[in-house]
Amino acid sequence: MQPAIRPARPADLHALAALARRTWLDAFGDSVAPEDAAAEAEKGRSEERFARVLPERVILVAEEDGELVGYAELGPVDIPEVEAGAGDVELHRLYVETPLQGRGIGRALLDAVLAHPDAAGPNRVFLQVWERNERALRLYERAGFRRSGSTRFRIGGELVEDAVFVLER
């Protein structure tokens, strides 16, 4: 049975932030210094951050038995290397609880966010993804995304590089 996918609500903020920290640390916590991972997980995945962006961005959650098990976030393109046009958007985040990966939840979230009116139509959808995240790479490529470049950013004192993908509509 697939979880229900719905827009995030203010009542979800605590659970959403906890899910976001947990899934980010599971995916990337070992790739940077422990103190940088902890700071990034807290700063970029806090209740306050989600409360701030919830009115401005599309955040969909996957819910199963009353628990959040995944989420996706769509908003304006903020990848410095991308020249975004009118209507272009960025899939900023798509995460699923680690033990539940491989059950189609990520694909269901991706399909739902791509069907959202903010992402539908003649535009491009960009995302950035860690090149070593094989499962995510397969998901995005199967959905029609193609690599278009790379971007660099800092996590603490470390310079990190991600692949940039685009879906042309």
Instruction: Specify the higher pLDDT residue, 39 or 137.
Output: 137
- pLDDT band with cut points at 50, 70 and 90 for residue 94: very high
Residue 134 has φ and ψ, to the nearest 5°, of -60, -40
**What pLDDT, on a 0 to 100 scale, did the predictor assign at position 153?**
79
Tokens of 16: 């959403």
- Does residue 50 or residue 153 have the better pLDDT? 50
Query: Does 162 or 69 have the greater pLDDT score?
Result: 69
Please give the angle made by the CA atoms of 110, 32 and 141, to the nearest 5 degrees: 25
Q: What is the DSSP string of 108-120?
A: HHHHHHHHSTTT-
Mean pLDDT of the chain: 92
Q: What is the pLDDT of residue 33?
A: 79
Q: Is the pLDDT of residue 43 over 90?
A: no
Fold of 4-168: Aminopeptidase (3.40.630)
Per-residue confidence (pLDDT) for residue 130, from 0 to 100: 87
pLDDT digits (tens, 9 = 90+) for 107-158: 999 999 999 998 887 789 999 998 888 999 999 999 999 999 999 877 777 7
Whether the model clears a pTM of 0.85, i.e. scores above it, the answer is yes
Q: How many contiguous H segments (helices) and E segments (strands) does the chain have?
A: 5, 7
CA distance 22 to 45: 9
CA 43 from chain center: how many Å? 15
Look up residue 106 and give its two tokens: 């990520």
**To the nearest whole percent, how much of the chain has pLDDT over 90?**
72
pLDDT confidence bin for 53, thresholds 50/70/90: very high
- Report the C-alpha gap between 140 and 2 in whole angstroms: 19
Q: What are the backbone angles phi and psi of residue 90, rounded to the nearest 5°?
A: -125, 135
